[in-house]
Amino acid sequence: MGTAGQLIVRRYRLVRALGQGGMGIVWEGHDTLLDRPVAVRQVLLPPALGETRRLRLAQRVAREARQAERLRHPNIAAVYDVAEEDGTPYIIMELVRSRSLDGIVASDGPLPPERAAPLARKLLAALAHAHAAGVRHGDVRPSNVLIGHDGRVLLADFGTGALAADAAFSASHTRRAPAHGEPVSATRGVQAFLAPERADGAALTAASDLWALSDLRALSDLRALSDLWALSDLWALGATLHFAITGRPPTPDSAELSPDEVLHTVVNGLLARDPRTRLEPRTANRLLAEIEPAAPPPPASRGGRRTRLMAGLAAAAVVAGAVGGWAVLRPHPGASDTRVPLAANASAPAPGTPATASGAPTRTAGASPAPRLRLKWHRSTAGWRAAVPRAWTIEQAEFSTRWLDPEGRARFELEVTAQSGTDPLGTLREAEAILDAKDYRKLRLRAISSKYGTAADWEFTWTRRKASAESHLARGTAYHQARRVISTETTTSVLTWTTTADDWERLRPTLTRVFALFQPPTG
């Protein structure tokens, strides 16, 4: 058993217990390396297990958590790390200040369809992202659906959800604490939200980590065994939606909703007993979208906005080999470049630029400033606007928009995501902590002032280990990079400026101007 104040693997300090149940204890913790709050699940393996079984189960916990670490999505409570201390597994997760769907329904009553539909769409998006990455949940139910105090909807317990129905924890199924410790009295048992093919004798095998069906041949038309997991998650989503609008989980006698229920087509389609006839995610999403209240139109001055849901790494992770740490809504490639006069606005200086108290860059005595490149405005349909070098070539990457120097000696990359609550300094520290770069030298990493919200800068040099056609960087070349993260009430913006080490001073005046003139979306 852990204790308050205990330090796990010399990094994660346990602060206070949030909840305890069949799979262990959930703690509020503190990451001493990145100086941020985290949730720590201490997985308590049943003491009656033999040594071999305990070892296999601990290995499986670590394997499931490692798979979940790959997921970065606005509607998934992130899994950051998995650790082991004195033979006990610990899963380090995002700490979400929230209420569970279970607790909300228990205290406030069932949700109206117009509120349940957008919630279900977010959960569906989270599952679609996880399944595309080959990760299943295995324990989708109301206690694992978190409604953040900031309005976010997150699916929690990736990494441990698939273990929930394991026979080793069966004695505690009905009273298991959810991921972030809402009151145990509000929780529902695992079995109430298990798909029929799992509840009717399907078992998780230690060898394959897949559940088996008594009549697998009848499902031979499915693409792969992993699809079976995805289908069982969809059933559990339907059961969760059933609970959200009725206040009770489905039972064999009351699984289907009557036709007069607004969401009956979606719920009944997801709750089909035969996995082959279960409603497809795309169809479910379309039906839910028809019920979801229409979003208010964007301001006329900003034009239309079209985004596509993806997940990945932030900003220049591909540039320096660093991993970001947030999930994103990627802007649609459609945007326009307009050559217009630029307003005189110094704002915060770029990294590496000496500044006066007012924030304006200063000149070094006896040195002539390098000429600044001519700029033009780039306006995005997502609402942001950036001043970029006029002669540079625009390139729409999968996760960002970038501009390339024609001579291949510099680049500017910009990513704007629909995610609030980002800690800019903590995010950059996390990227630095796991950076794998040759001859890395940190020049500065600190919070800065910004009129748009919280912000931080990271400036460093490094030598590229391998050539990358995608990022246009050469093997063995020394590079200099500045990265700025700006967090507003509704978005996170990551600006990344990279040059060869020899070209840094020549292009620094342009960097200062580009960073100062960037305007994130407003409203």
The per-residue pLDDT for 218 is: 41
- Tokens 């957008």 sit at which residue? 118
b or e along 374-397 (b: 16 or more beta carbons within 10 Å of the residue's beta carbon)? ebbbbbbbbbbbbbbbeebeeeee
pLDDT at 375 (0 to 100)? 95
Return the minimum-mean-pLDDT range out of 272-286, 292-306, 343-357, 401-415: 343-357
Q: Is 47 exposed, middle or buried (0-12, 13-18, 19+ CB in 10 A)?
A: exposed
Region 69-87 average pLDDT: 89
Give the pLDDT of residue 389. 96
**Is the Cα torsion angle 384, 386, 391, 392 positive or negative in sign?**
negative
pLDDT tops 50 at residue 335: no
Tell how far CA 177 is from the center of its chain. 23
Reply yes or no on whether the pLDDT at 493 is more than 80.
yes
Q: Give residue 468's pLDDT band: very low, low, confident or very high (50, 70, 90).
A: low
Token couple for 490: 């509704």
pLDDT at 455 over 90: yes
DSSP string of 119-162? HHHHHHHHHHHHHHTT---S--SGGGEEEETTS-EEE--TTTGG
**How much of the chain exceeds pLDDT 90, in percent?**
33
99 neighbors 147 (Cβ within 8 angstroms): yes
Paired with 234 in beta bridges are none
Separation between Cα atoms, residue 225 and residue 403, nearest integer Å: 43
Segment 325-345 shows an average pLDDT of 35
> If pLDDT is split at 50, 70 and 90, which confidence band does 467 have?
low
pLDDT at 474: 67
Q: Is 347 helix (H, G, I), strand (E, B) or coil?
A: coil
| Mean pLDDT score of the chain | 75
Please name the residue that has the structure tokens 């950051």.
80
pLDDT-wise least confident of 20-24, 296-300, 422-426: 296-300
Mean pLDDT of 494-510: 94
Set out the domains of the chain in order of their start, with CATH numbers. Answer: 7-291 (1.10.510.10), 310-517 (3.40.1000.10)
> What are residue 320's DSSP bridge partners?
none
Q: How confident is the model at residue 339 (pLDDT cuts 50, 70, 90)?
A: very low
Residue 447 has pLDDT above 50, yes or no: yes
Q: Residues 75, 237: contact at Cβ < 8 Å?
A: no
Which pLDDT belongs to residue 510? 95
Higher pLDDT, 110 or 132: 110
Q: What is the pTM of this model?
A: 0.54
> Which range, 124-138, 311-325, 378-392, has the best average confidence (pLDDT)?
378-392
Q: What is the pLDDT of residue 294?
A: 63
pLDDT single digits (tens) 430-440: 778 767 678 89
> Residue 47: what pLDDT?
75
421-to-250, 407, 427 alpha-carbon distances in Å: 35, 38, 11
Q: Is 324 helix (H, G, I), strand (E, B) or coil?
A: coil
Give residue-wise pLDDT tens across range 54-71. 888 888 888 888 888 888
Q: Are 9 and 2 in contact (CB under 8 A)?
A: no
Whether the predicted pLDDT of 219 surpasses 60: no
Q: Write the pLDDT tens digit of every residue in 279-334.
A: 988 899 989 988 877 655 544 443 333 233 223 333 333 333 332 333 322 233 33
